[in-house]
Amino acid sequence: MKNHDNHISSYMLNWTVLLVLLMLTTISILAIKMHLGAYTVALALILASIKVTIVLTYFMHLKFENTMLRLMVGGVFLLFAIVIAITFTDYYFR
Amino acid sequence: MTTSEHIEHSEHIDSDTGKLGMWLFLFTELFLFGGLFIVYAVMRSKYAADFHHAALELNVLIGATNTVVLLVSSMTVAMSLTAIQQKQKNLAIGLIFITLILAGVFMVNKYFEWGHKISLHLYPGSEVMKTLPHGEIMFFGLYYMMTGLHALHVIIGGILLTIVMMRISSGKINQEHYLLQENGALYWHLVDLIWIFLFPLLYLIT
């Protein structure tokens, strides 16, 4: 159960990550207020995806994990994207 | 000498597999919520106007406040890991305690939010709800299901982090052995990840 040679994230890095996440949140709220029409949904989802990637990379320490774990997480998110794509193809062309 | 090296090596593997197991569990969680996201997306494209109208009922300010609360709590739990790695035991306990307070703030906000809607008789099965168009019933059904399931995760995460805090205090979790704290933090980050998607989908896109 001993944890070896793990990367230690500095407090400064954690603060910076939080600051970026809060900025992205503010941007997404402001963007919605501007009523961009059809692009609103796309923009909101892109910003959310960027935020999720930042949390996974820094708060969840994926940047400092071994390649296998990173590939697994990437693979699962890819699988999830494929499931969504197939569901929508099925829904729109039935 | 050889024996002790061997033990060190197998302990190292244990820590990695323990974390791997947590990630596998998180993948199942992703698909649990993913299923609901897909239902939401399909229903939204089917009843666009109803979803637009129903989403206006949600309070963006409460949603935004809870987003900030969860983001900050995600940082404090990540920092508690840094603290334990640097042997700052009291700081680690303090940071987890702040995380728990923020979890409490999130739940209190949720209580007022749901309470307000229930006082307006906007809950599944109410007489008011039955008179609404089909798409709006769908929206509120999904709203309660998704935020409810998420709130359940906040409560479970809170319990998990309380256990972690007690183990740090008793010394069972320390600079050398902190797998449970790592996994507890991973779970808490997942709670945050799901909210990052729930907030724009339910509150912002109207």
Contacts of B15 in chain A (CB under 8 A): 1-4
How far is B157 from B191, CA to CA, in rounded Å? 8
Contacts of B178 in chain A (CB under 8 A): 3
**Confidence band, pLDDT 50/70/90 cuts, at residue B19:** very high
DSSP type of residue B176? S
Residue with tokens 């940071």: B95
Homologous superfamily assigned to B26-204: Cytochrome c oxidase, subunit III, four-helix bundle (1.20.120.80)
Q: Does A24 touch chain B (CB under 8 A)?
A: no
User: Is the confidence at residue A6, as pLDDT, over 80?
Assistant: no
Helices (H), chain A: 11-33, 39-54, 67-92
User: Is the confidence at residue A76, as pLDDT, over 80?
Assistant: yes
Q: Does B197 touch chain A (CB under 8 A)?
A: yes
Of B23, B22, B9, the C-alpha closest to B180 is: B22
At residue B3, the pLDDT reads 53
Sign of the dihedral defined by the CA atoms of residues B72, B74, B77, B78, in that order: negative
Helices (H), B47-174: 48-55, 60-85, 89-119, 127-131, 134-170
Phi-psi region of B58 (alpha: psi -120 to 50; beta: other; left: phi over 0): beta
Of B165, B134, B154, B140, the C-alpha closest to B195 is: B154
State whether B15 and A9 contact (CB < 8 Å). Answer: no
How far is B87 from A5, CA to CA, in rounded Å? 15
**Confidence band, pLDDT 50/70/90 cuts, at residue A1:** very low
Lowest mean pLDDT among A6-20, B85-99, B156-170: A6-20
Of B184, B159, B33, B163, the C-alpha closest to B104 is: B159
State whether B79 and A69 contact (CB < 8 Å). Answer: no
Torsion of CA B83, B88, B89, B95, to 10 degrees: -40
> What is residue B151's three-state secondary structure?
helix
DSSP type of residue A62? G
Instruction: Write down the ipTM of this complex.
Output: 0.88
State whether A88 and B18 contact (CB < 8 Å). Answer: no
At residue A75, the pLDDT reads 94
Q: Tens digit of pLDDT for each residue in B93-151?
A: 999 999 999 999 999 999 999 999 999 988 888 888 888 999 999 999 999 999 999 99
Q: Measured between alpha carbons, how far is residue B2 from residues B5, B7, B176 in Å?
A: 5, 9, 21
Phi, psi of A36 (to 5 degrees): -85, 10
